[in-house]
Amino acid sequence: MQLPAIPRPLARVVGALPAFPASLAFSAAGNLAAWPALRGLDWGEVRGRRFCVHVRDLGLKLYFSVGRKGFVPEVASSADVTFTATTEDFVRLGLRLEDPDTLFFNRRLLIEGDTDLGLRVKNMLDGVEFEELTRRLPAGLGQVVTGLRQRAQMQA
């Protein structure tokens, strides 16, 4: 699936944003969209650890941790584990169109820091059924996401 490339000027603007507001927005969005489907997972070993999602093409680093009530934005410049990929690849991972190992072999996904923590989260998320995720999304959004995924699968 071809997702539109991010226009360069936009990337520059986004990359220049201070990290915390972006992390805040990301965590808020995550709590709204994904947390209802994820709250039931066994987060015990993960609580309090700091994650960084580094969106390479946007030059954007999002820091957060997982607390009892969902994602918590972090003011930080370091994390226990950092995932680096492009916007498109993160989206493809999110839509379950791509296997993380495949992206890793192709150097499109980098996991730095605590590898065990990174793989644990990856495996935990793999254990959630896609339908379960979309079913709990706010009305409308679920349909959009499902539609996107189906279109991409048909194109593959």
Of 4-12, 22-30, 63-71, 98-106: span binding another protein (CB under 8 A): 98-106
* CA-to-CA separations, 118 to 19, 46, 109, in angstroms, rounded: 21, 10, 12
Q: Which of 102, 144, 150, 151 binds another protein (CB under 8 A)?
A: 102
Residues 38-57: x/- map of binding to another protein (CB under 8 A)?
-------x------------
Q: Which of 118, 134, 137, 152 binds another protein (CB under 8 A)?
A: 118
Strand-pair partners of 62: 53
Strand-pair partners of 55: 60, 85
- Is residue 89 involved in binding another protein (CB under 8 A)? no
- Rounded CA-CA distance 35/96 in Å is 17
Minimum distance, C-beta of residue 29 to another protein, in the bound complex (Å):
23
- Is residue 68 involved in binding another protein (CB under 8 A)? no
Minimum distance, C-beta of residue 70 to another protein, in the bound complex (Å):
19
Q: Which residue type, as a one-letter code, is found at position 13?
A: V
Q: Which residues in 127-156 contact another protein (CB under 8 A)?
A: 127-130
The size of the chain, in residues, is: 156
**For residue 89, with 0-12 CB atoms within 10 Å meaning exposed, 13-18 middle and 19 or more buried, which class applies?**
buried
Q: Which is nearer to another protein, 61 or 73 (CB)?
A: 61
Q: Which is nearer to another protein, 88 or 98 (CB)?
A: 98
How would you classify residue 16: left for phi > 0, otherwise alpha for psi between -120 and 50, otherwise beta? Answer: alpha
- DSSP 8-state code for residue 4: P
Q: Which residue type, as a one-letter code, is found at position 80?
A: D
Contact positions toward another protein, by CB under 8 A? 45, 96-102, 104-107, 110-112, 115-124, 126-130
